[in-house]
Structure 1
Amino acid sequence: MKAWQKIFSLLVLVLLLAGLAGCGSSASQDKGSGTQTKPATSGTSTPSRPKYSVALEATFAPFEFRDMKTGEFTGFDIDLIKAIGQVAGFDVEIKEMGFDGIITALQTNNVDLAISGISIDDERKKAVDFSLPYYQSGLVVAVKADNNTLKGFDDLKGKKIAVQIGTTSAKEAKKIPGAKVTELDKVPDLFLELKNGGVDAVVNDLPVTAYYIQQGNKDIKIVGDVRSAEYYGIAIPKGKPEVLQKINEGLKTLKANGQYAAIYKKWFGQEPPAFLPGEPPQQKQ
């Protein structure tokens, strides 16, 4: 082999070895770091949506309960808070708990907010903040269908009454002279106690009692007038103005774009009252 050919072959070999060494170094670095080189991009990345933990007690149909077929949480409150999250920019993580523990969970920041048919009252407002009202409710008396002696709140003096613990129903029942009030954890237990003869009546929220009867429980009936008309609100820990603002703006948006009305009609079969969240109902002429 000629001298110039030897020199040329040697140069090719050196270049080849240098190329292999470079490839080996690059592969080693990629594997060690666990990352791959990506082309540079301009602009800033979009931050991920926050996830808010939402407390509820899931035996308060039609506001929140478990679907018997799927086991998933469903109801008016569930649809509403998810819709608020969609327009306000946050995801929802449901946390089920006893109703009497919800306010404490908010005060200790174990949850970000709560929607569980919670009536806005002065005592609760000392412990948590409330959104604009999203539902108007009231309390009613339920008795066995064959009971023709109890006709409303005025007939409950000295009677045995079942209520859900920690609710405005419990507060109202305890005002009745001589009443023996039994506080239970879950709404279905109230009606079971009534059916079994353990109590004379149940005091509970009108829409929940009406929904229970509509599900085929014709052995129960509502008697008398609605008492203590009240609003439901979404509860937020104090000192969280940014969360409160998101909830309120979300409610206003849903009211304006018709989604609130659609959700309301889905669960209650009628148009919602003609008032904006946070405003009293319009007086009928």
Structure 2
Amino acid sequence: MANKKVLKVGLDSAAPFPMHSDYNAGNFEGFEVDLLQAVTNHLNLEVEYEVSLWSTILEKLFKGELDIICSAVTVTASREHILEFSNPYLYFRLCAVVDKDDSLSGLPHFKNKTIGVREATEAERYVREQFPGNNIVYAVTNKELYRKLQAGKIDMLIDDSPIAGGFLQNNKKLKIGMFLPKTDSAYAIAMKKGDVKLKTQFNETLSLLKENGTYQQIYKKWFSEIQF
């Protein structure tokens, strides 16, 4: 029997759960893990994961050190210039997470607030554009970011809503203060520019998984308790 083709898959070391957990923690799981397994099983591909810092992961793919990234990659116009994207597999928004006793009624509330973001993310780009005058605090991992908020070092943090939702499941001291207007976004699988054959295979398989109900089962398993 011929060996399966191996797909080198890039993962964010900061583990954006429930998309995926920490690869090195033994219990590797998440929405993207199940989805990618379903896709690659259908295509008879073998997956080899490689963990990278978020700040360098897209560059690794661009250089061809990875075949794909399936790790909460937001589709943006600038990324589409240098990478191929599958059809989106999850739609979401950015949100502001605050202490459960705080309230946010709108963007004017953000004035003079210290805002936390993870570096090299779309949340960071949004904050820099929308609130250039604010004090911005950077974190490398999600855990570090949420810890800063719990410790009162920042007034709020901006994050992708599914990831915030996953974090808040186990943390009743924080809440989503508001979803940010005009931040409708999507996650998709990123591939090397020109990798059109693989992209077509992925898109066809994603459509099939939606048609046969597999996608819905995986979605329900990971997001039945999460609002985003």
Work out whether the TM-score is over 0.5: yes
Deviations, residues 71-127 of structure 1 (Å, cap 9, x unaligned): 132100111111100112211111111112111011111110001111101011112
Max radius of gyration: which structure?
A: 1
TM-fit CA distance, 1:226: 3.8
Moved over 4 A (4+): none
2-structure distance, mates of 1:177, 1:97: 29
TM-score, normalisation: structure 2: 0.91
**Counterparts of 1:240 and 1:177, CA distance in 2:** 37
Aligned to 1:210: 165
Letter of the aligned partner of 1:183 in structure 2? Y
Task: Return the letter of the residue paired with 1:63.
Answer: M
Structure 2 SS opposite 1:142 = strand
| Residue among 16, 22, 34 paired with 1:60 | 16
Deviations 1:201-259 (A, max 9, x none): 100011111121111x1111111234301111100011212221221122112111111
TM-superposition CA deviations, 1:24-58 (whole Å, max 9, x none): xxxxxxxxxxxxxxxxxxxxxx5322010111115
Which structure 2 segments of 5+ residues have no match?
A: none
> Shift in Å at residue 183 of structure 1?
2.1
* Paired residues of 2:102 and 2:177 also in contact (CA < 8 A): no
Aligned length: 222
Correspondences of 1:77-116 after superposition (within 5 Å): 77-116=32-71
CA contact (8 A) 1:159 1:179 kept: yes
Indicate which of 150, 155, 160 corresponds to 2:114.
160
Does 2:175 correspond to 1:221? yes
1:275 aligns to what? none
- Give matches, 1:118-197, under 5 Å: 118-148=73-103, 150-175=104-129, 176-197=131-152
Question: Offset at 1:165?
Answer: 1.3
2:124 maps to a residue whose letter is: A
Task: For structure 1, list consecutive stretches of 5 or more residues without a partner in the other structure.
Answer: 1-45, 271-285
CA RMSD of aligned residues (A): 1.8
Determine the structure 2 residue equivalent to 1:13: none
Contact preservation (8 Å) 1:159, 1:178: no
Match of 1:198 among 142, 149, 153: 153
The amino acid across from 2:94 in the alignment is L
AA at the equivalent of 2:39:
I
Does 1 or 2 have the higher relative contact order (CA < 8 Å, sep 6+)?
A: 2
Normalised by the length of structure 1, the TM-score is 0.74
Tell me the equivalent position of 2:204. 249
Corresponding position: 1:262 with 2:217: yes
